Structure 1
Amino acid sequence: MIEIKGLRKEYSKTVTIGEIDLTIPAGGITALVGPNGAGKSTMLTIVGRLLGADAGTIEIAGYDVSSTASKDLAKIVSILRQENHFVTRLTVRQLVGFGRYPHSKGRLTRKDEEAISNAIEFFDLTDLEHRYLDQLSGGQRQRAYVAMVLCQDTDYILLDEPLNNLDMKHSVQMMKHLHKVAVELGRTVVIVLHDINFAGHYADRICAMKDGKVVEFGTPEEILVDETLTRVFDTPVTCVEGPNGRLAVYY
C-alpha cells in the first residue's frame, strides 16, 4: 500500500498542498480527481519522488520514498508525468525499452527483450513497434509511453493524466488497458483523471481533492453522490444510474 502521513508542500503563503494523510490500498485502480489546482498532480509527483515535500512521510510497500536508494525505488514504483517530450527518431520498441533501465542499466538481456515484447503486445502495439513516435497518432503514442512504464515491471504505477489530449475512443481504450494491468497483472495503479465518469466506471477507489487537501476517499458508489461532487467541483452535479453504474451530469 501507499501510506502518506502529514504531507505538505508550500509554494507560497497562499498556495499550499496539505496536510495530507492518506492510505491507498494495494491493488486495483485509485483515481485522483478534483478541480484544476486541487493538488492532484503535485501529490502524485511527490509520491513518485520527482518533487520534494516540505514535510511528511511517504511509504510505498513499506519503503520510505525519501530515503530508499533510487535504484531500489525504481524497481518498486514507476511514474509517467503529464509532459512527455519525446524524441521523434525513437521507435516504439526503443521507447518501451527505456523502461528496463533500472534492471539492465542500458545493457538489454534476453529477459529484458522478452519484457519489452510483452509490454508492447499487452498494449496492442506489436504492429507498430518499429514505427517512429512521430509517425503515430496521439492515442498510439500515449499507449507507447504507458507500455514503457509497464515494462519497468513495478508493482506500483503512477500516471498523471494519461488521457490528456485523447479523444473518447482512445480514452476508453486506454482505461480498458489500465484495467487489465490492475486485474490481470495485479498492479496498483494510481491515476490522475479529469473525467469523473471515467473514474467512476474504471476505478476501484476515488480520492477527491480540493484546495490542496483530500476531502473524500472511497468507492465510486460512495463518491459519485450529488452533494459530494457539487461540493468538490463547486458546480451543480446530479448523479444518475446508467447502464454500467452511476454517472455524473454537470449543468
Structure 2
Amino acid sequence: MIDLSGVRKVYSSEVSIGPVSLEIPAGGMTAFIGPNGAGKSTLLTMIGRLLGIDEGAITVAGKDVTSTKSAELARILSILRQENHFISRLTVRQLVGFGRFPHSHGRLSADDERVISRYIDFLGLTDLESRHLDQLSGGQRQRAYVAMVLTQETEYVLLDEPLNNLDIAHSVEMMTHLRHAATELGRTILIVLHDINIAARYADRICAIKDGGVAFFGTPAEVMDPAVLSEVFGTDITVIEGPHGPLACF
C-alpha cells in the first residue's frame, strides 16, 4: 500500500500542494487525472522521493520514503519521470540494463541478462535491442524507458505521463503493456495521465486531483460521473456508455 498522511509541498504563500491524505491499495493500476497544474506530477514525484515534502509522511509498502535508505527503497519502488535526457549512443539493451543497477551495482550477471531480455521481449523490443536510442521513434524510445523501469523488478512502479508525445495507437499499445504488467507480473502501477478515457479504460482506480488536493478517489465507474468530472475540470462534461465502458465527452 502507498500511504500519504497530511502531505504538503509549499512553493510560496499562494502556491502549495496538499495537505493530502490518501491510501492507494497494493496491486493493479491507479491513475492520477486532473487539469494542468493540479499537482498530479508533484504528488507522484514526492511518492518517488524525487521531490522532498514539507509536511506529513509517505510510506510505500510500510517504508517511509524520507528515511529509508536509497538502496532499500530502490528494491521496492521505481519511477519514470516525464523528462528523460537520453544518451543517443546507448543501445536499447544498454538502457534497459540500467534498471538492474540496484541489483547488479553495474556488474551484470547472467541472471541480470536474462531479466533484461525478459522485459525487452515483454515490451516488444526484441528486434530493436541493438539499435541506438537516436535511431528509434518516440514511441519506441518510450517503450524502452518503461522496459528499463520494469527491469528494476520493484513491486511499485510510478510513471509520470508515459503517453506524452504518443499518438493514439501507440498510447493504446503502451497502456496494454502496462495493464499486462499489473495483471501478469503483479506490479502496483501508479500513473499520471491526461486522457480521462484512457484512465477509465485501463486503470483499476482513478484519483482525481484538483488545486493540489484529492477531489475524488474511486473506481472508474464511480469517478466517470458527469458531476464529478465537471467539478474536477471546471467545465461541463457528459458521460456516455461506450463499447468498453464510460466515455467522457467535453
Structure-2-length-normalised TM-score: 1.00
In the TM superposition, 1:93-242 aligns within 5 A as 93-242=93-242
Q: Which residue of 2 aligns with 1:81?
A: 81
3-state SS of 1:130 partner: coil
In the TM superposition, 1:29-108 aligns within 5 A as 29-108=29-108
Note the C-alpha offset of 1:28. 0.4
Note the C-alpha offset of 1:70. 0.1
Q: Which residue of 2 aligns with 1:247?
A: 247
What do the CA deviations read for 1:32-87 (whole angstroms, capped 9, x no partner)? 00000100000000000000000010111111111100000000000000001001
* Paired AA for residue 152 in structure 1: Q
* d(CA) in 1 for partners of 2:124, 2:165: 20
Q: Which residue of 1 aligns with 2:14?
A: 14
Note the C-alpha offset of 1:235. 1.1
Note the C-alpha offset of 1:245. 0.3
* Paired AA for residue 165 in structure 1: N
* d(CA) in 1 for partners of 2:172, 2:140: 13
* Paired AA for residue 53 in structure 1: I
C-alpha RMSD over aligned residues: 0.4
3-state SS of 1:183 partner: helix
What do the CA deviations read for 1:142-177 (whole angstroms, capped 9, x no partner)? 000000000000000000000000000100000000
* d(CA) in 2 for partners of 1:116, 1:235: 45
3-state SS of 1:214 partner: strand
Structure-1-length-normalised TM-score: 0.99
Which runs of 5 or more structure 2 residues have no equivalent in the other structure? none
* Paired AA for residue 193 in structure 1: L
Note the C-alpha offset of 1:118. 0.4
3-state SS of 2:14 partner: coil
Q: Percent identity?
A: 66
* d(CA) in 2 for partners of 1:14, 1:165: 31
What do the CA deviations read for 1:77-117 (whole angstroms, capped 9, x no partner)? 00000001001000000000000000000000011101100
Note the C-alpha offset of 1:130. 0.3
* d(CA) in 1 for partners of 2:212, 2:14: 11
* d(CA) in 1 for partners of 2:211, 2:91: 40
* d(CA) in 2 for partners of 1:71, 1:115: 19
* d(CA) in 1 for partners of 2:157, 2:40: 15
* Paired AA for residue 94 in structure 1: Q
3-state SS of 1:85 partner: coil
3-state SS of 1:186 partner: coil
* d(CA) in 1 for partners of 2:127, 2:66: 40
